[in-house]
Amino acid sequence: MREAVTAYVGVGANLGDPAAAVRTALERLRELPATTLDAQSSLYRTAPVDSSGSDYINAVAKLSTQLTAPELLRELQRIENAAGRERPYRNAPRTLDLDLLMFGSARIESPELQVPHPRMHERAFVLVPLAEVAPEVVSEARLSAVSDRRIVRVA
């Protein structure tokens, strides 16, 4: 058996019933093979970034997994697809978006996956819920840099 790695997954949606989609996705993460859901943040409402449409509901999940990063990515995409995720264009509104933010201390640069997520430090909708589940990985300076962005805890 492979040693478990701590991974963080950003969860978001802004089509249909986004809060229900995020809650369902968190339940699906709990069911992943060789993986446990160690923590999940509150749900947050945020305006779209580099996108259009309704506000998003976002959260972050902390996982302990024995899957490799590519295996975890495939599982995340399977959950997205089951939720009706379509990709008509970059940053299109979505029924569900699951982003692998961090995978242990790994640095991965491939066409399919970049870890740590390249824009996570620019986004309040990632940093605020990430700080809730893993305050040790988000500095006060990073949080301060996104403090002008609207983000509201909803649940």
pLDDT tens-digit readout, 75-127: 999 999 888 766 655 665 678 999 999 999 999 999 889 999 988 999 999 99
Active-site annotation holds for 78: no
Q: Which is catalytic among the residues 23, 28, 99, 123?
A: 99
153 is catalytic: no
Per-domain residue ranges of the chain: 5-153
Higher per-residue confidence, 155 vs 42: 42
| Greatest mean pLDDT among 9-18, 46-55, 78-87 | 9-18
The pTM assigned to this predicted structure is 0.93
What is the model's pLDDT at position 91?
Answer: 60
Residue in 23, 28, 45, 97 annotated catalytic:
97
* 97 labelled catalytic: yes
- Annotated catalytic, 38? no
Helix (H, G, I), strand (E, B) or coil at 31: coil
Write down the catalytic residue from 23, 28, 45, 85: 85
Instruction: State which amino acid sits at residue 117.
Output: H
The sign one gets for the Cα dihedral 135, 39, 95, 21 is negative
Superfamily of domain 5-153: 7,8-Dihydro-6-hydroxymethylpterin-pyrophosphokinase HPPK (3.30.70.560)
Pick the catalytic residue from 17, 94, 107, 142: 94
Q: What is the pLDDT of residue 94?
A: 79
Which of 70, 58, 65, 60 minimizes the C-alpha distance to 31?
65
